[in-house]
Chains A and B, each alone.
Chain A
Amino acid sequence: MAKKSYILIAVFLFILIFVSYLGQSFSLFSPSKNSIWPYSYTSKLKSQTIYLKGLKSPVKIIIDNNGVAHIYANDTYDAFYAEGYYTAYMRLFQLELFGLTGVGNLSSWFGNLTLSTDLYAHYVGFPQNANFSLNYVKENYPVIYSYLQAYSNGVNAYISQAESSHELPPIFYLLRIKPYNFTPYYSIAWGEVMSWGLAKGFCDELRLSLIYTHLGYNLTQELFPYYPYYTNGSLTAMPGNGTVNNLNLQSFNISPSYFWSLNFYSNFANGLSNETLYKAIPLIISSLNEICSDPLSFVDLGSNEWEVTGNYSSTGYPMMANDPHLTLYDPSLWLPLQLVSPRLNVTGYELVGEPGVLIGHTENTAWGLTTPLGASSNAYLEVVNMENHSYLFNGEWLPLKEYNFTLLNKKYTIYYTNNGPLVSYNNTLKMGISLYWVNQYYPFLTLVSEFLLDNSTNFSQLLNAARYWVEPTQNLAMVSKNETGFITAGLYPLIRITLPNNESVEVVGGRTILNGSIPNYEPVGYIPFNYLPQSINPERGFAFAPNQPTAFIDYPYPFVGGYWVSDGRALTIYRYLNSHRNMTISDMESLQSNVTDSWASILDPVMVSCLENENFSNNLKEGVLLLSAWNYTFYQNEVAPTIYTYTLLNIINNVVNPVLNEHGLTQYKNLLTGTVGFYGTDTLITSDLAYFATHNPNSSLFNGSFCKVVNSSYNEAMSYLSSKLGNISNWKWGNVHVLELINPAGISSLNYGPIPIWGDGFTPSAAYFNFNGTISIPLIVSEGPSLRIVDSPATNQFYSVFPGGPSENPASPWFETQLNSWLNFNYYPFSPVVEVNATWYLIPRGG
């Protein structure tokens, strides 16, 4: 053989080996049927017949042009089976991700990267609680359990089909992970996560403890009053002084004015001396770090709902509107669908992973949800001895209970007192903080409540469903053909405290952590159902519950742990409802689309009066003119909202930073976000500023002059905006305030956006940006109305829209089907089928 041939063979051999080796990394991108590309078959929804094992009889699924699936089954079991199948087809990765999050086993997929989230899940107790609830539901509600199982069976049927055709979402292949067998355990565990994300109490008590120990009572109370400053008996969700079914505080011989004048940070309310609270600061900080800073602990958000009676509507029949504000995920947390069987006809939104419809309507009823914000969890300060694993309770040393689990082949132990898991402890101090949460002690019957809502045919059945609701406590908005109202459903643990006048009263939550070593502050029960805040067929013609205080000062079970949001949205909604009669569906939609900020309507005129006589340059003068001509709306093409917001953010910094510095809280500022924090999305600080600016402009918080603060803040804002955006014509709100839909797996390159967006954290059509004290451009919005519904069962009018589509496949036209309509405040008729896009026939295998 010639030398040249040898050389050529050697070169080709080298290329062959090298390319073969390199090619291994690209096998998933080959055109093979075992690559990621078969998933593209799922992008287009085509009509098909699918044979499935486990179905009892044929099911038809019609997917309409709006991305809503209408599932028709001859049997309720089959309806839930088909729901599971359809959900998995559309959202398999999201579904499995949520399930694993709930059971605290993300590390089986992602290794060390998600170990801390798994530990968090076990500390709060999602898997333990889910297991407890699963057994309870299985034993006591076997029919409902069978529906949970049907849903899981449907999910697993899709998994096995997608595995065999290599049509799993590509992320499974790219990460080299396999879908696991879905079971009701995962559904319940994910319900626990969502439940905890909306639960209040524990973190708020820790934050207020930290604030109180540094600021003292007067300043804490000034900044974080028990009720936000503008609250009155017209603005509370339950109108009036707080009396419910003829019961109020005065029924217990307690004067409301006396009660609410008390210092609930003191010993009678928490069982702790100030000295002990100071000692516990390191534990408070570590608990805030461990439990209240995790991504699974949702930021404080709001939601809107209102209902009008037949007397108040143009049709003579009740109507309702609801838009729950949550993290705007991409894909959405929600999946729109209709379930029909001989005994079921419900349309609405599935919370992905939870069988059934959580928010929706039947032919005769409709319901929605908002968060009421009272404490359903509490933080307890414990006396512990970790050397012999015991804790002190009622004068006795008791053994700590152990819960052991393994993650990534490493064993972990969580210790429990009678109040719950010890989330932090300090051996030197002999102290620990435990987390009490309703779900540790009471089965998660919220699922039962959901099934009852889905089957409701009249108002009393809606109310009956509310009796089963456990967590998260929710304002349940309800309408039937002739009745309307809301009730704050769920279990609020009550603590019996003895007031300084020796009267005893049962209250919800605390302003600080509570003494866990004595029985005095242990929960003694829950608010009885009949006395939960409620407004049924309200005389004034409407009810509304957008997270404002649910009940006013004479309420018989006072919300010491209320932690309400600022009332900003509530004020706008109240003004609208109170000044309108003969409400139409279009009026309801218009109010949901409202982007007027109540705090701006109070603060902006004060700002203008402070600035209008200043000798400014042309640019600064133009800014003042825009503020003075502004009507407080936040549309993308307006400049005034930009100037107002950046001035306001500077005012907050200029007021809050000196307070934090002076009282040694600066180092903890990242822990102090939320409704009872200095920063966040819908904080009390803004309503405080509005109140002080109009009632006490010479407050020491403003160093004697609110105008001086406004002036310097305005100058800072204008200078910052000029340096970042140049000419004032570029300062449109949509240029600085943008929506970014978040990928639930935290893969930022898969986030969707940025898209210019209306609103702010105080407008009914809310678009929350998270402010932590750092002023930046753009302000990123990733929380807002996760869906909108407007319903009138009596007139058979149901409208809805959500910022997403049914599919999680970004390559599919069904990925963000409704996003533009949502952005432009357009709605879709929700049922029946409008235009058929695809029809699936699910046939029992062999049938």
Chain B
Amino acid sequence: MNKTNLIIYMTSIALTLALSYFIPYVWIGIIPGIIMGLIRRRSLRLISSFLIGFIGSLLMYLVYPINYLVSLAKTVGALAGISWLILILIYPLLYGLIELSASGIIGEILNSKNKK
């Protein structure tokens, strides 16, 4: 891994963690996604941006006492009529998709410019 990519990954991970803790809107994942768009290889860019978005925001649930969080998710899930696991996983999945699509858009634009 070259130094530039390492900086991109680190910046993107840091932004994912920070933004998903401070801002409760999934579209904020566009910002780390844009950073990830700087990675040149398309497949690497898309897979890693999704994983950083998904795992990064999932990790942030560890900020809370996990056993009580799961119990709370079970209660809210019962109230909403959905599984507690889906309740916890849905947001990180969406976050990953946002980062993936943002990086995808930026990556394609940059690739096209570079080709010119």
Interface residues of A (CB under 8 A from B): 1-2, 5, 8-9, 11-13, 15-16, 19-20, 22-24, 26-41, 43-44, 170, 174, 747, 749-750, 809-812
Contacts and interface: CB of A to CB of B under 8 A. Distances in A.
Contacts of B94: 19, 22-23, 26
Contacts of A24: 25-26
B44 interface: no
Interface in B41-99: 57-58, 60-61, 63-65, 68-69, 71-72, 74-76, 78-79, 81, 87-88, 90-92, 94-95, 97-98
Contacts of B95: 23, 30
B112 interface: yes
B72 A37 contact: yes
A32 B21 contact: yes
A12 B68 contact: no
Contacts of A28: 24
Nearest to A16: B101
A30 B65 contact: no
Given A40-B72, A41-B65, A750-B78, 15 more contacts: A8-B104, A8-B108, A15-B97, A15-B101, A19-B101, A23-B91, A29-B90, A30-B25, A31-B61, A31-B63, A32-B60, A43-B68, A44-B68, A811-B71, A811-B75
Nearest to B97: A19
Contacts of A35: 24
A403 B74 CA distance: 46
A811 B24 CA distance: 22
A693 B61 CA distance: 66
Given A40-B69, A174-B79, A31 B108 contact: no
Given A5-B108, A8-B108, A26 B26 contact: yes
Contact of B111 (A5, A29, A174): A5
Contacts of B90: 26, 29
B100 interface: yes
12 contacts: A1-B109, A11-B104, A13-B105, A15-B100, A20-B98, A24-B25, A26-B91, A32-B60, A40-B68, A40-B69, A41-B64, A41-B68
B65 A27 contact: no
Interface of B: 20-27, 30, 57-58, 60-61, 63-65, 68-69, 71-72, 74-76, 78-79, 81, 87-88, 90-92, 94-95, 97-98, 100-102, 104-105, 108-109, 111-112, 115
A33 B87 contact: no
Nearest to A750: B79
Given A26-B91, A40-B64, A16 B102 contact: yes
Q: What 7 pairs across the A-B complex have the smallest Cβ distances?
A: A23-B26, A811-B71, A31-B60, A32-B24, A43-B68, A12-B104, A1-B112
A215 B59 CA distance: 71
Per DSSP, are chain A's interface residues mostly helix, strand or loop, or mixed? helix
Contacts of A11: 104
Given A20-B98, A29-B87, A29-B88, A2 B65 contact: no
Contacts of B78: 749-750
Contacts of A34: 23-24
A8 B22 CA distance: 31
B69 to A, nearest CB: 5
A812 B72 CA distance: 8
A170 B72 contact: yes
Contacts of A39: 72
Contacts of B58: 31
Nearest to A170: B76
A749 B81 CA distance: 9
Given A19-B94, A20-B98, A750-B79, A5 B72 contact: no
Contacts of B76: 29, 36, 170, 174
A505 B64 CA distance: 69
A13 B101 contact: yes
Nearest to B81: A749
